[in-house]
């Protein structure tokens, strides 16, 4: 396993993490564009603009949460923008996309909840593929263990400690997210549901996944004795998702009366 695939020049290189994100993004974009809801929302002329805004919002949100929870990694304001050196929080990226795209979709007069319902079907697959990049780069590694499926890192260019048996927490996350994608794609998307249900369910599921897997991750930035920054944010998202379920159900039921 190697963090760097090809060294280009000086500090520039093709990293496994960036490559897997790019692969996931391409697959995500292709699947969304093939979905029947894509044409119903008339996204043909604006989708690539939406993707570009989403990428910027995800990077900014992911970097902001990472720096907030890993404040010792920020030595100057310039360090905030060196995201290619690693340091993006997925939950921060999701929050950034929701806020950034909501504003952009409102500006473009595109229905916000139906759009997020659409991309929520395929977002878990994008995240699962990205987690494979984490695995090869050695970031987001787990605590030491002696299980038969433990992994050992030997690449000094990676982020994980070397020659220690570790929980492959990146693969745990990738597996859960891929199963979530299959559930959404093969079953949930074919059900009749009120607008906003899919994105709310997506937020609930990925927040729950992060909360549980984080117990096995090393180098956790704790905010309480038992919970990390990311777990507290995950709990907040779970609470928001539950409230949203109730509110959306109430609104949809009231409209049907």
| Residues paired with residue 153 on neighbouring β-strands, in sequence order | 162
Q: Which pLDDT value is given to residue 139? A: 85
Both tokens of 133, joined, read 């990049």
> Percent of the chain, pLDDT > 70?
85
Q: Which domain holds residue 92?
A: 4-256
Backbone angles phi, psi at 111, to 5 degrees: -55, 120
Joined tokens for residue 198: 């899919």
Number of domains in the chain: 1
Residue 152, C-beta contacts closer than 8 angstroms, at least 6 positions apart? 162, 163, 164, 165, 166
Measured distance CA(184)–CA(224) in Å, rounded: 34
Judged by average pLDDT, the poorest of 46-55, 69-78, 100-109, 121-130 is 69-78
Among candidate residues 201, 172, 207, 196, the one with its CA nearest the CA of residue 184: 201
Which pLDDT does position 131 carry in this prediction? 93
Decide which of 251 and 117 is more confident: 117
Query: How sure is the predictor about 257, in pLDDT bands with cuts at 50, 70 and 90?
Result: very low
Q: Which DSSP letter does residue 77 get?
A: G
């Amino acid at each position: 396993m190697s963090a760097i695939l090809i060294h280009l020049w000086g500090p520039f290189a093709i990293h496994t993490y960036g490559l897997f994100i790019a692969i996931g993004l391409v697959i995500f974009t292709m699947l969304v564009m093939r979905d029947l809801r894509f044409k119903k929302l008339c996204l043909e002329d604006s989708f690539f603009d939406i993707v570009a805004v989403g990428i910027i919002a995800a990077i900014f949100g992911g970097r902001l949460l990472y720096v907030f929870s890993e404040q010792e990694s920020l030595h100057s304001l310039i360090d905030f923008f060196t995201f290619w050196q690693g340091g993006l929080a997925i939950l921060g990226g999701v929050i950034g996309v929701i806020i950034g795209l909501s504003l952009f979709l409102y500006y473009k007069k595109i229905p916000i909840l139906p759009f997020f319902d659409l991309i929520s079907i395929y977002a878990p697959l994008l995240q699962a593929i990205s987690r494979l990049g984490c695995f090869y780069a050695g970031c987001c590694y787990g605590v030491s263990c002696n299980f038969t499926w433990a992994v050992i890192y030997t690449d000094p260019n990676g982020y994980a400690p070397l020659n220690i048996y570790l929980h492959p927490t990146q693969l745990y996350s990738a597996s859960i997210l891929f199963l979530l994608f299959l559930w959404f794609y093969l079953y949930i998307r074919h059900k009749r549901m009120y607008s906003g249900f899919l994105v709310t369910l997506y937020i609930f599921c990925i927040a729950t996944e992060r909360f549980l897997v984080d117990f096995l991750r090393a180098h956790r930035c704790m905010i309480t004795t038992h919970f990390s920054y990311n777990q507290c944010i995950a709990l907040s998202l779970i609470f928001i998702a539950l409230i949203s379920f109730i509110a959306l159900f109430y609104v949809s039921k009231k409209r049907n009366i």
